[in-house]
Amino acid sequence: MKFFAHETAVIDADCQIGEGTKIWHFSHIMPNCIIGQGCNIGQNVVVSPGVKLGQNVKIQNNVSLYTGVECEDDVFLGPSMVFTNVINPRSAVVRRNEYSKTIVRKGASIGANATIVCGHDIGQYAFIGAGAVVTKTVNAYALVVGNPARQIGWISEFGHRLEFDVKGVAFCSESGAEYRLVNKEVSKID
C-alpha cells in the first residue's frame, strides 16, 4: 500500500489515493474519490462520493467535503469547516441532481469552523478566516472574514497581509515576493 490508513478509517471501492497520503482515525472516504499524493486527512473527516483533492491537501479534524467539491494542490482546510452542496436543502425533497460545484484553488486556506456555501469558488491563495460564512466567490489572494464573509484585504502566498502602495505594488514580509493590484485583482510578479 502506497498510502497510510488508520485501522478505523473506512475507504470505499473505486477510490484513487495518492502515494504518501495519510488517512486518520474514523475518517470515511466514499466511492469514486480522487485523492492526490502527500495529502493528510485528519480524524473524523468525511470525503463524499466523487470529491477530488489535489496534491498536498491538508484536512484537519471533523471536516465534511460533500459531492461537488474539488480542492487543487496545497489547499488547507481548518478544523470543523464545512462545505455545502445544495443551495436549498429540504429533508423531504430529493436534490441529488442539483448538487452545486465548489472549487478551492491552489494554495487557498480555509479557517476553523468556516462554512463555504456551494457554488462559490475560492481563488488561489485566498485566506478564509475562522468562522467565516462564504456566500459568494472569493478572489485570488483575498482575505475574507465574518458572517457573511467580506473581504478586508489581500494576503501573500506565505499568508501575510499585503499593503499596496499608490502604484499598486506590495511585497510579502517573509518571502520578499512582489505583488501587483490592478482592477481589484492581485497577481504575483515572478
User: pLDDT tens for residues 104-139?
Assistant: 999 999 999 999 999 999 999 999 999 999 999 999
**pLDDT grade for 1, boundaries at 50, 70 and 90:** low
Q: What is the pTM of this model?
A: 0.95
Q: Tell me which DSSP letter residue 47 carries.
A: E
| CATH architecture entry for 4-155 | 3 Solenoid (2.160)
Interatomic CA distance for residues 115 and 179, integer angstroms = 28
What is the edge-to-edge ordering of all strands in the sheet holding 161-162?
A: 4-5, 22-23, 40-41, 58-59, 76-77, 109-110, 127-128, 142-145, 150-155, 161-162
Residue type, 26: F
* Domain ranges within the chain, ordered by starting residue: 4-155, 163-190
**Cβ–Cβ contacts within 10 Å for residue 183, how many?**
5
Residue 66 has pLDDT above 90, yes or no: yes
